[in-house]
Amino acid sequence: MDKSEAIGLGLLKAMVSERGVLAMLIASQSLSFIYTLADYDDFWLTLGLVSLFTHSNALLSLALIALISVFKVSKPQQNGVLELSIVFVVFISVCIGLSIGIQFTPLSSHVPIDWGPVFSHSAICCFVVVILLYFMSIYIDNVNALALASRAEIDALQARIRPHFLHNTLNTLAELTHENAADAEQAALLLARLMRVSLAEKKWHTIADEVALTKDYLSLERFRFEQRLQVQWQIEDALLSVPIPTLTLQPLVENAVLHGIEKRVQGGTIHIQIEQVDDVIILRVTNPLPHSVHHSSGNGIATKNIDKRLSLYYQRRASLRIERDSDKFVATILLPDTGAYELSDFG
């Protein structure tokens, strides 16, 4: 991806981001210092007046760009030249307007208008905006490269879940075909629903969708474990509409079945709790552990995978906590209740 293409990837959004506003303020103040040092009578008075002009130009321009970005619905990568033109024209237009406007203040009155300062201010503004856009293009290029790398890593991590998930469900279906045709048909339908979700490109769905997916998985596993597998649910209904990454809860429950229920002759009960405490949404899965002191490393591999996916999705604002004692294993996912976003928002 070359730099010119990078400029078109979300330039308006980048200009009004925290990084863009900070860069604009730094550039404006730097320009004020340079302009004042070049020619001044009273340094501090001149610096104050020039800073007022440059910052007014910058903030008014960013406000107009923010307003334009709200109503601009087309994809930025399809209109890179248009976005570049919008930013350039906005800054120059505001600069010309301010340069003319300050000539009608009590401190400086020119009739008719003195076009010399207007042209010189516009030329300086043009030079600064070109430099700013160049550095913004580098920033946008880096953001998009990071987003693409993160998306690829998420896809790779999620792909590790799918074969393991498919392997277990197919084994269950194969066993049922020899034991009960009706159960095998029901299991095949459950498997079809599970595969449609787990193999879909959709990366986000609601907690209600994730709970339904998990219940379908547990229904399949009950064909294997029957009464050995018991599940207790505790869910706050108000959270069912909250969006979360696909395959967030289900892998934890599958992990609990494989390393808790399956390894215990008497089976056990999996407790699944979804609640909100202050500004944190909590998904907690608790399962009993086998009496053997040896624990499979599968627990660690699965939980590290989930933790890494959450970190990429939520930019380190979500986490997975693991607690283990002699008789139970507790996996707790902590999610922010606001501000969650998908990586596609960068593109």
**Which of 287 and 204 is assigned the larger pLDDT?**
287
Token match 């339904």: residue?
Answer: 212
Q: What is the pLDDT of residue 265?
A: 85
Please name the amino acid found at residue 262: E
Q: Please give the Cα distance from 325 to 299 (Å, whole number).
A: 14
| Average pLDDT of the chain to the nearest whole number | 77
Closest of 210, 217, 216, 214 to residue 243, by C-alpha: 210
Is the separation of the CB atoms in 255 and 298 below 8 Å? yes
Question: Would you place residue 2 in the very low, low, confident or very high pLDDT band (cuts 50, 70, 90)?
Answer: very low
Highest mean pLDDT: which range of 95-104, 132-141, 261-270: 261-270
**Which of 7 and 206 is assigned the larger pLDDT?**
206
In the structure encoding, which two tokens stand for residue 57, read together?
A: 């130009």
Collapsing DSSP to helix, strand or coil, 287 comes out as strand
pLDDT in tens, 62-89: 888 888 877 764 554 446 677 778 888 8
DSSP state, residue 271: E
Is the separation of the CB atoms in 225 and 189 below 8 Å? no
Q: What is the pLDDT of residue 45?
A: 77
Q: What is the pLDDT of residue 211?
A: 93
How many whole angstroms from its chain centre is CA 194? Answer: 25
Q: What is the pLDDT of residue 344?
A: 41
The CA-CA-CA angle for residues 158, 160, 162, to 5°, reads 75
pLDDT in tens, 216-250: 889 888 888 888 999 999 999 999 999 988 888 98
What proportion of the chain, given as a percentage, has pLDDT over 70? 76
**31-40, 88-97, 177-186, 251-260: least confidently modelled range:** 31-40
Q: Please give the Cα distance from 323 to 330 (Å, whole number).
A: 5
Token match 């899965």: residue?
Answer: 285
Residue 46: in which H helix or E strand, if any? helix 43-71
Task: Output the pTM of the full model.
Answer: 0.58
- Mean predicted confidence (pLDDT) in 193-199: 70
pLDDT in tens, 256-309: 988 888 888 888 999 999 999 988 999 999 999 887 645 444 455 567 777 877
- Is the bond preceding 112 in cis, omega lying within 30 degrees of 0? yes
Q: What is the pLDDT of residue 198?
A: 64
Listed in sequence order, the residues at least 6 apart from 261 whose beta carbon sits closer than 8 Å to its beta carbon are 221, 225, 228, 229, 267, 268, 270, 287, 288
pLDDT in tens, 144-183: 666 666 566 556 555 555 555 667 677 777 877 877 778 8
Q: Pseudo-torsion of CA 291, 297, 298, 302, nearest 10°?
A: 120
DSSP collapsed to 3 states, 84-137: HHHHHHHHHHHHHHHHHHCCEECCEECCCCCHHHHHHHHHHHHHHHHHHHHHHH
Residue 34: in which H helix or E strand, if any? helix 18-38
Listed in sequence order, the residues at least 6 apart from 274 whose beta carbon sits closer than 8 Å to its beta carbon are 207, 211, 234, 235, 236, 239, 249, 281, 282, 283, 284
Q: What is the pLDDT of residue 234?
A: 95
Q: Please give the Cα distance from 80 to 261 (Å, whole number).
A: 55
